[in-house]
Amino acid sequence: MWKWIQRQASPKVFYQTCNRLIPWFFWPFICLLTVGLYWSLVISPADYQQGDGYRIIFIHVPSAILSMMIYAIMAVAGGIGLIWQIKMAEVVAKVSAPIGAAFTIIALSSGAIWGKPMWGAWWVWDARLTSELILLFLYLAYMSLNSAFDNPRTAAKSSSILAIVGLINLPIIHYSVKWWNTLHQGYSVGTGGIKDTDMQIALALMFLASILLYALLVSIKARTEVLIREQNSSWVQEEVRSLIS
């Protein structure tokens, strides 16, 4: 396993791995998404308090979890790039940022749609909502800093430091409903979370589909990023010629 990880430090090997992984992520994602949506919209019962309006939870909760998980992956990959000077780790960190930002926007917007009928307002300066908004700003700051330098290595080092510092926000998001008196409901997963079995299955399916979607998008975007960074390499020129022919 360690040898396989070491081999991925090679841009050519990493590019080939991304190519091979794309169909393995795409088709399971399609299957899980289809089954998950059916389970969420058809099989799962209506909530005894919120009725069918609660079903947005099957989009909101996976998106919120992925927004934090992707940031953690981005920071770890950036740290690996800083310490061991592995360029492919920097690539993973860079391409993860816009994907994580998109999941954060989905989490915030779906939460606003869910919160309007529940709280009577689209937005409140709740601890959970505010810390999630800060997470979006961290993503945007990371992407801006990464684009501010012409040298990819300098950009990666600067943005990685920002990502690592921003990790402090993740436990604040997670434990905000415990640390402060907030309007946001408690945990949907784990102790005190959803009790209905069909709801749990639907949430698990949508969560797994979200993970596969992230993996799929990272593979696609990382493949493109490697080609851009290594465009002067002989193997990239051969790859381009084979694609044209």
pLDDT in tens, 26-41: 999 999 999 999 999 9
The pLDDT of residue 152: 86
* pLDDT value of residue 188: 58
Q: What is the pLDDT of residue 114?
A: 85
**With bands split at pLDDT 50, 70 and 90, how would you rate the model's confidence at 219?**
very high
Q: What is the pLDDT of residues 149-158, one digit of tens each?
A: 988 889 999 9
Per-residue pLDDT tens over the stretch 155-203: 999 999 999 999 999 999 988 877 766 655 655 555 456 778 899 999 9
| Distance between CA atoms of residues 35 and 31, nearest Å | 6
The Cα 176–Cα 235 span in angstroms is 49
Q: Quick one: angle between helices 169-179 and 127-147, nearest 10?
A: 170
According to the model, what pLDDT value does residue 245 have? Answer: 67
- Half-sphere exposure of residue 72, counting CA atoms within 13 Å on the CB side? 12
The model scores a pTM over 0.75: yes
**Residue 182, number of CB atoms within 10 A of its CB:** 16
- Can you tell me the mean pLDDT for 78-95? 95
- Roughly what angle, to the nearest 10 degrees, separates helices 11-38 and 197-229? 150
Mean pLDDT of 93-112: 97
Q: Average the pLDDT over each of 4-13, 81-90, 223-232 and give the range with the smallest value.
A: 4-13
In degrees, to the nearest 5, what angle opens at C-alpha 37 toward C-alphas 202 and 217?
A: 100
